[in-house]
Amino acid sequence: MQYELYIDVFFLINAIMDWMLLKITGKILSCKVGKMRILWGAFLGAFLTCIVWSIPGIPGILKLLFFYTFVNVVMIQAGLGIRRSRELVRAFIVLGISAVLMAGILSLFRQYIRYGSLFFGCVIAGDYLAGGILWMLQQLFRKKFGTCRIRLEHAGQNYDGKALIDTGNRLRDPVSGEPVNILDPEIAECLLKEEIPQMREIAYHSIGKENGVMKAFRIERMIFPEKENMVIKNGLVAVSEEKILCEDCRMILNPDIF
C-alpha cells in the first residue's frame, strides 16, 4: 500500500500541534518565554519532523525513536529556552504527557476532523482542554507549602526559626542558575550587622507586582535540624522588599536547594 504525503500540509499540522504542546508545557513549568520563541520552537520541530519522515530507506521504528527523542529535545530547548538537564527531563516528560492527552482528546473529535474547516477548531479546543486538565492535576497532586526549622549563620550572627518551603518559588539567579531563597528584611538586617556583603540584583515577578528587584547575597551557612542537620554553604538569599509573615515563617525556601 502506498501513501501520498503532502509535505506542506504535514509541516503545517505538525507546527500547529507542536506550538500547542510547547505552550501547554511552558505554562505548566512556568517558563518565562515569549510567543515568538514558542512559535520558533514549533516551526523548528515541524521542520525536523518533515526531514526525518522524508528520508527514504530508514525503518519507521527508527524514525519514531528519533522523533520522540532528538526532535522533542531540540524543540524544547529552542521553544522554551531550557538547558539544564534536570529541567529538560521534566519538560520532556510534561511534553510527552501533553501529547498523549492531546491525542486522546482529538480522538473524541475524530468524526469532525475529516472536515478541514473544523480541524483547527478541534485542535484549539483540545489545547485548552488538555492545558486545563494538566493544570488541575498539577494543583491536585503537588503539596504547595511545607515548613521546616532552619538555623542561619553569617558573620558571627545567628538566627533560629521556621522557613516556608514553597514549590511556587522557582526564583533563580540569572547568572549562575542557582536557586534563590527569600529572607525577611528584619532578619537580614540582624545577620548583616557586622558585615556589608557584596550584593547583586535579582529580578522577580509576583502577584500584584509584574517587575520587581531584590538585593541578594551569599549566606555562610543554612542548617536544617529536621533534615539530619543538613548544611548548605554559601547559598543565595534575596532580601524581600516586604515583611514575610506566613505561618510564623520569616524565610521562603526554594525547594530546588534540596
Mean of the per-residue pLDDT values for the chain? Answer: 76
Residue 120: the pLDDT is: 59
Residue type for position 231: V
Residue 143: the pLDDT is: 47
Name, in order, each residue with C-beta under 8 angstroms of 209's C-beta and a sequence gap of 6 or more: none
Q: 220-243 as b/e, with b when 16 or more CB fall inside 10 Å?
A: bebbbeeeeeeebeebbbbbbeee
Burial of 151 (0-12, 13-18, 19+ CB in 10 A): middle
**The pLDDT of residue 179 is above 80:** yes
**The pLDDT of residue 151 is above 90:** yes
Residue 112: the pLDDT is: 56
pLDDT band, residue 138 (cuts 50/70/90): low
Query: How far is it, in rounded angstroms, from Cα 96 to Cα 89?
Result: 11
Torsion angles phi and psi, residue 41, rounded to 5: -60, -40
Total residue count of the chain as it appears in this document: 258
Residue 153: the pLDDT is: 92
Residue 131: the pLDDT is: 64
- Helical spans, DSSP H, in 55-169: 60-66, 72-80, 85-108, 110-113, 116-141
DSSP string, 35-58: HHHHHHHHHHHHHHHHHHHHSTTS
What confidence tens digit (pLDDT) does each residue in 57-101 have? Answer: 767 677 777 767 788 888 888 888 877 777 788 888 888 887 777
Mean pLDDT, residues 249-256 taken together: 84
| Spacing of C-alpha 29 from chain mean position | 3
